[in-house]
Copies of this chain bind each other. A is one copy, B any other.
């Protein structure tokens, strides 16, 4: 039996069980119970074909007072029509019965194959079993129970001292990067025992996701099931209701760090990925503009195959900057750096650039590509990975 040494978050209890969602021997159903009085915020996929559990979770989170999350791996319950919605509601009802709460207080999540109906009976049978096993420990098991194509669990933890008390922030995530809707989905659950009122928590999750999951790209595809949940159980420390207070700011920094660590873990575990690359764009006229250029680079198949080949092909970087659609870009002001090595100066090959210097950077498993647009004061960054033969192999395999 797996030992679980991860810290607990007061107010949160977990249980992972093997519901048999697929023909595998592993935990695949996670139940998270949240104490009364906690604040819970969530963000969901922008994909119009959002899955049935996303539809139901969006409904329920609106009613407030969330007390439980149920996550299954192996089946996305997406593109499953009215029956999918009814299945998701039945899952919530089962949790409500087991925990003696209302169905509207449960958020359902699914990840796995699209277009197949949930093995509902198996979930309904497994929920009471899980409810009996709830305990404060179990974050590591939980991180494993929600995995699909992930090659490793994704966990991040921070503590921060506020008013003499130690606040914990524990997060888990899954996803090999929104890149395999077949067995896909990025899911992230972060819990803290801090006391944060709902409106501020809603703001916090938006900021944290903006700094983390919205800055990663494996291939630009977007799952039907993506979701991120932030829970503040409120059992520890003072009420943090002032967004400008030093205490809140320190908590926020730690929460953002947990989100970033999880987001980076998803990129590092990107299907077939062998490189972790930060794309930094500065000198932009706006954050939006900087991100647009960063994603044009980070999502370009040509740049990504060059990363895979460890080929410092700066012509492709220039191409990607040029195609980003920056209005009135003066290319003669553009500089590009590979870590500290300047490769492009004033829009052309830098005079002192030596191919072997660029080669050395591109051969590293982690490095930074910095683009200076030379037109403003805004700076943004994203994280991306390379595009490998293994990506094609993984994604070209028949569904099995």
Among B301, B313, B318, B398, contact of A301 (Cβ-Cβ < 8 Å): B301
Per-position contact with B for A364-400: 1 when CB-CB < 8 Å, else 0?
Answer: 0000000000000000000000011101110111110
Q: Give A166-197 interface residues, CB cut-off 8 Å to B.
A: 179-182, 184
Known: A48-B331, A115-B314, A347-B49. A219 touches B301 (CB 8 A): yes
Measured in the bound complex, the distance between the Cα atoms of B79 and A346 in whole Å is 9
List the B residue with the shortest CB-CB distance to A330.
B48
Measured in the bound complex, the distance between the Cα atoms of B334 and A76 in whole Å is 19
Measured in the bound complex, the distance between the Cα atoms of B306 and A397 in whole Å is 8
Residue A332 at the chain B interface, CB threshold 8 Å: yes
Residue A311 at the chain B interface, CB threshold 8 Å: yes
Q: How many copies does the complex hold?
A: 2
User: Most chain-B CB neighbours within 10 Å: which of A301, A319, A395?
Assistant: A319
Among B320, B323, B334, B392, contact of A305 (Cβ-Cβ < 8 Å): B392
Residues of B within 8 A of A332 (CB): 81
Residue A47 at the chain B interface, CB threshold 8 Å: yes
Known: A115-B349, A348-B79. A322 touches B48 (CB 8 A): yes
Residues of B within 8 A of A396 (CB): 305-306, 308-309, 311
Residue A39 at the chain B interface, CB threshold 8 Å: no
Known: A48-B329, A80-B348. A221 touches B301 (CB 8 A): yes
Known: A332-B81, A344-B79. A115 touches B392 (CB 8 A): no
Task: List 15 additional A-B contacts (Cβ < 8 Å) besides A47-B323, A181-B302, A311-B398.
Answer: A46-B325, A48-B331, A49-B322, A115-B314, A115-B348, A115-B349, A179-B301, A180-B302, A181-B318, A301-B391, A305-B391, A306-B395, A309-B397, A309-B398, A311-B397
**25 residue pairs A–B, Cβ–Cβ below 8 Å:** A46-B323, A48-B322, A49-B319, A49-B331, A78-B318, A80-B348, A179-B302, A181-B315, A181-B316, A182-B315, A219-B301, A219-B302, A221-B301, A224-B318, A301-B301, A305-B391, A305-B395, A308-B396, A309-B396, A309-B397, A313-B399, A387-B392, A389-B392, A389-B393, A391-B392
Q: What is the interface of chain A, defined by CB distance below 8 A to chain B?
A: 46-50, 76, 78-81, 84, 113-115, 179-182, 184, 219-224, 300-302, 305-306, 308-309, 311, 313-316, 318-326, 329, 331-332, 334, 344, 346-349, 387-389, 391-393, 395-399
